[in-house]
Amino acid sequence: GPMQFEVVTHRMESEFSTPVTLDHLDYTMARRTSKDDAPILDRRPGVEVLQRSDGALLAVFKGAWHVQRTQQEHPGITLEPLVADLG
């Protein structure tokens, strides 16, 4: 949670004399998407496409409404839910 970021910020500043600035982003939902669908998603309001270090493309949304609206307007678009691997 937020406390973890505060700890990292404090350690970076105190141990490495490195100033840290954190920006809060308004995204609340994420879905895996495809390379073909990324340009469509990137043009939509309330959506941004990001690439993870493993190359996976993630569409992040400002809320459930944005996900639902995108699925309604583009029924064939790839939006796979993310599942955490706790094992």
Asked whether residue 86 carries a pLDDT value surpassing 60, the answer given is no
pLDDT at residue number 37: 97
Q: How confident is the model at residue 2 (pLDDT cuts 50, 70, 90)?
A: confident
pLDDT single digits (tens) 7-65: 999 999 999 999 999 888 899 999 999 999 999 999 999 999 999 999 999 999 999 99
Residue ranges of the alpha helices (H) in 1-87? 2-16, 38-42, 64-73
pTM value is 0.74
Q: Identify whether the C-beta of residue 29 lies closer than 8 Å to the C-beta of residue 64.
A: yes
Is CATH 3.30.70 the classification given to domain 25-87? yes
pLDDT at residue number 84: 67
pLDDT at residue number 85: 58
Q: Nearest Cα to 38, choosing from 3, 78, 11?
A: 78
